[in-house]
């Protein structure tokens, strides 16, 4: 009885994650390519955003490391 | 006869406009009033206690700023019929989509914790234990959405928006000097002591509470869920303007309240201010505590819905409040789990609530610039927006606002991480 319950429970979690991974793959496939027209302005904005986020993550990491120390 | 006919025609026209507005009213008012959430009220209370009425003019400026940013979500939602998360995935691809979605959920969850902190601390003033507040509030919020109609949810939310106006009678009770209040509201000036780092921090905190990433996601999804189309854009914009007006009014009266009675008193949070006010006048303290609870409640329902809508849009779950629970179980389960988990954190003894409150600002800073940049780019996409895309004047105003918000919110995030970076 207990093993049946465990099997049911573990199978349930396994199925949930399998379904989730499937969903995520499907989303990645559906939105693989951007649909906005990539004008120089759009390209510049996205590049600037990447740069901004890299700097911000760097600051966060620095803070994290100094707090750990 | 001609006069009476014209009068009747004008009366019918005005009556019809009001009727139409009452049908369209909702997303704009709700998002703007919910913007004055528990964290927002704490910021306004602290602003009033530290600087009196001297920063009222700054709030008056922030009203139009919030309007200009939020009205873009009305146009985007009404024209594309997509929520903000789905719009980002569709336009910019999976990388930026996942970044925005996961950042939004993290920021929203952390903000939800701060809303529960506000609600539990306000109810503690009335002797209600935190666990009862968390359980009752979570059940109430779940009940609001599972009844199966967007319309009903919206009207209940509007009722709570009305409660948020409790600061107005409270401020009138303290008889503030009207001349000083009016002068400080319309004449930009610096408080005595000039421009200091504390003032800079406070100004940035006020901006941070006025424009939050979840607001963009919430209003656009609400516009879509409500079924607003291109013909409703004018009404939606007016609704947003009314909301922006109320958000400034509530914030201003909150500042007037503490600026009159608690000026110079160090205030860490709104609940402390409510306790201090109770010592002066029990009704004032009660008003502030009720207002704080209501602010946390409104913030929590909007924030949890913003995340649930966003997840539903991207994962393809049925994600409308017009759909019954049995037909969209994931949407409602996600919503309830978000609320229950955030409420549960507040109940953990020794949970790092102060750290979470600070972390909210930092996470918001990573999401806000991206969300605002995407908003501007989406509003300039002629293919999807057609004649509703940003014009030159709108672009000048909106890009200017977005650049200033990005710079200031980044500086705010850095000053939260490194409190002494701009000196003491």
The length of chain B in residues reads: 424
Residue B234 has pLDDT above 60, yes or no: yes
Q: What is the mean pLDDT of residues B34-63?
A: 89
pLDDT of residue A65: 82
Dump pLDDT digits (tens) for B253-281: 999 999 898 888 888 778 888 888 888 88
Q: Report the gap between the CA of B255 and the closest CA in chain A (Å).
A: 33
Residue B384 has pLDDT above 70, yes or no: yes
Q: How far apart are CA B351 and CA B346, in angstroms?
A: 7
Q: How far apart are CA B275 and CA B289, in angstroms?
A: 8
Dump pLDDT digits (tens) for B167-205: 898 888 888 888 988 998 888 888 887 777 778 878 888
Residue numbers of A between 23 and 62 with CB closer than 8 Å to B: 23, 27-28, 30-37, 41-42, 45-46, 48-49, 52-53, 56-57, 59-60
Instruction: Name the residue among B90, B315, B414 with its Cβ closest to that of A23.
Output: B315
Q: With bands split at pLDDT 50, 70 and 90, how would you rate the model's confidence at B324?
A: confident
Q: Considering only residues B170 and A11, tell me which one the structure prediction assigns the higher pLDDT.
A: B170
pLDDT of residue B235: 87
Element (H, E) at B125: helix B94-125
pLDDT of residue A52: 86
Nearest CA in chain B to A59: B414
Q: Please list every residue in chain B whose beta carbon sits closer than 8 Å to the beta carbon of residue A33.
A: 93
Q: What is the mean pLDDT of residues B120-144?
A: 92
Task: Report the mean per-residue pLDDT for chain B.
Answer: 87
The length of chain A in residues reads: 69
Measured CA distances, B108 to B300, B344, B361 (Å): 9, 15, 11
Q: Considering only residues B395 and A56, tell me which one the structure prediction assigns the higher pLDDT.
A: B395
Paired tokens of B352: 């790092």
Q: Please list every residue in chain B whose beta carbon sits closer than 8 Å to the beta carbon of residue A23.
A: 315-316
Q: How far apart are CA B385 and CA B387, in angstroms?
A: 6
Q: Considering only residues A1 and B77, tell me which one the structure prediction assigns the higher pLDDT.
A: B77
Instruction: Name the residue among A28, A31, A57 with its Cβ closest to that of B90.
Output: A31
Residue A36 has pLDDT above 90, yes or no: no
Nearest CA in chain A to B88: A34
Q: What is the mean pLDDT of residues B134-151?
A: 88
Residue A6 has pLDDT above 80, yes or no: no
Nearest CA in chain A to B418: A63
Q: What is the mean pLDDT of residues B22-28?
A: 77
Q: How many CB pairs under 8 A join A and B?
A: 58
Q: What is the mean pLDDT of residues B132-155?
A: 88
| Least confident piece of the model among B72-76, B104-108, B148-152, B251-255 | B148-152
ipTM of this model?
0.83
């Amino acid at each position: 009885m207990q093993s049946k319950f465990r099997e049911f429970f573990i199978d349930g979690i396994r199925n949930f994650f399998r379904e989730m991974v499937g969903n995520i793959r499907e989303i990645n496939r559906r939105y693989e390519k951007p649909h906005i027209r990539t004008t120089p302005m759009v390209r510049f904005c996205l590049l600037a955003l990447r740069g901004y986020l890299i700097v911000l993550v760097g600051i966060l990491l620095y803070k994290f490391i100094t707090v750990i120390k | 006869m001609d006069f009476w006919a014209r009068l009747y025609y004008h009366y019918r026209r005005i009556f019809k406009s009001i009727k139409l507005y009452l049908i369209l009213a909702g997303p704009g008012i709700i998002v703007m009033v919910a913007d004055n959430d528990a964290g927002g009220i704490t910021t306004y209370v602290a602003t009033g206690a530290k600087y009196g009425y001297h920063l009222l003019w700054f709030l008056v400026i922030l009203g139009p700023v919030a309007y200009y940013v939020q009205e873009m979500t009305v146009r985007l939602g009404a024209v594309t019929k997509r929520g903000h998360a789905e719009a980002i995935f569709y336009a910019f691809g999976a990388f930026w989509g996942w970044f925005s979605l996961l950042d939004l959920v993290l920021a929203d969850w952390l903000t939800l914790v701060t809303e529960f902190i506000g609600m539990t601390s306000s109810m503690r003033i009335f002797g209600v234990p935190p666990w009862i507040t968390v359980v009752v509030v979570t059940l109430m919020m779940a009940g609001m959405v599972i009844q199966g109609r967007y319309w009903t949810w919206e009207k209940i939310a509007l009722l709570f928006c009305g409660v948020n106006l409790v600061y107005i009678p409270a401020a009138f009770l303290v008889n503030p000097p009207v001349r000083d209040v009016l002068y400080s509201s319309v004449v930009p000036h610096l408080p005595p002591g000039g421009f200091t780092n504390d003032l800079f921090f406070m100004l940035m905190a006020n901006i941070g509470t006025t424009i939050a990433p979840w607001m963009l996601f919430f209003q656009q999804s609400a516009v879509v869920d409500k079924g607003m189309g291109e013909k409703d854009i004018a009404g939606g914009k007016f609704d947003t303007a009314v909301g922006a007006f109320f958000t400034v009014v509530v914030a201003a009266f909150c500042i007037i309240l503490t600026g009159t009675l608690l000026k110079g008193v160090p205030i860490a949070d709104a609940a402390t201010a409510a306790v201090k006010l109770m010592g002066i006048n029990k009704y004032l303290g009660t008003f502030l505590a009720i207002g704080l609870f209501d602010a946390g409640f409104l913030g929590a329902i909007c924030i949890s819905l913003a995340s649930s809508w966003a997840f539903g849009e991207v994962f393809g779950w049925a994600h409308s409040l017009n759909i019954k629970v049995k037909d969209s179980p994931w949407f409602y389960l996600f919503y309830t789990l978000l609320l229950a988990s955030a409420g549960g954190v507040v109940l953990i003894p020794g949970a790092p609530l102060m750290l979470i409150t600070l972390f909210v600002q930092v996470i918001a800073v990573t999401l806000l610039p991206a969300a605002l940049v995407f908003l501007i780019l989406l509003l300039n996409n002629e293919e999807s927006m057609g004649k509703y895309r940003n014009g030159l004047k709108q672009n000048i105003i909106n890009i200017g606002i977005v650049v200033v918000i990005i710079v200031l919110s980044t500086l705010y995030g850095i000053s939260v991480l490194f409190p002494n970076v701009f000196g003491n």
